[in-house]
A and B are shown apart, each in its own frame.
Chain A
Amino acid sequence: DIVLTQSPDSLTVSLGERATINCKSSQSVLYSSGNKNYLAWYQQKPGQPPKLLIYWASTRESGVPDRFSGSGSGTDFTLTISSLQAEDVAVYYCQQYHRSPRTFGQGTNVEIK
């Protein structure tokens, strides 16, 4: 199985400041023939299902604010929230869909300082 390890487990950031979450994969998730990284990021608020934010490592899902961005390739990826808002308090997960079984990172809890 592909293991995704997120860091940190928890993050406390002031309103308006930048939040950065890392996701490291045990194997490359780059699909070479399409030159796409099969990695997604999700946001989950309490009592809600996860919401897809970013796919192909850096493509923002429709309707997602542009303060959310994804970067990285191969085995190392980053989700950045450029200016943290109160509504961004949530747990964030990375997920790979390059190989079966699909796997998720353990999650990063983002809170306001």
Chain B
Amino acid sequence: QVQLQQWGAGLLKPSETLSLTCAVYGGSFSGYYWTWIRQPPGKGLEWIGEINHRGSTDYNPSLKSRVTMSVDTSRNQFSLKLDSVIAADTAVYYCTRGYYYGFDFWGQGALVTVSS
């Protein structure tokens, strides 16, 4: 059974960098799109971007200038960095596994709050 476990800082000040990592347990690491999705409190879901095991990325244009994703295949981990955070970046951030049929396995979610 595939499990995704994520971690990272939960409280940031404006202009700081958000940093989250997700570890994948079970299943293959190659052949999938390792994805970050966020959900502001009480709101809907926003796709941030994805990375594959080779390190090829695709980012949401709305966040592209501030987002960097990376992958560590030796540890089956992938990471998200979001620069210059603002209050509007406050959200639950999910890591998830993407494929040609959608997102089938999800991390537990991590609330990141941006506040001065």
Name A's B-contacting residues (CB within 8 A). 38, 40, 42, 49-52, 55-56, 59, 61, 93, 95, 97, 100-107
Contact = CB atoms under 8 A, between A and B. Distances in A.
Contact of B106 (A38, A50, A95, A105): A50
Contacts, number: 55
12 contacts: A40-B101, A40-B102, A55-B102, A56-B101, A97-B98, A97-B100, A97-B101, A100-B58, A101-B60, A101-B61, A104-B46, A104-B47
Nearest to A104: B45
Interface of B is mostly: strand
A52 B102 contact: yes
A55, A56, A101: most-surrounded residue (chain B CB, <10 A): A101
Interface of A is mostly: loop
A29 B81 CA distance: 30
Interface of B: 35, 44-47, 49-50, 58, 60-62, 94, 96, 98, 100-104, 106-109
A93 B44 CA distance: 9
Given A50-B45, A55-B101, A103-B47, 19 more contacts: A40-B102, A42-B103, A49-B107, A52-B102, A52-B103, A56-B101, A59-B101, A61-B104, A95-B45, A97-B98, A97-B100, A101-B47, A101-B58, A102-B47, A102-B50, A102-B98, A104-B44, A104-B47, A105-B44
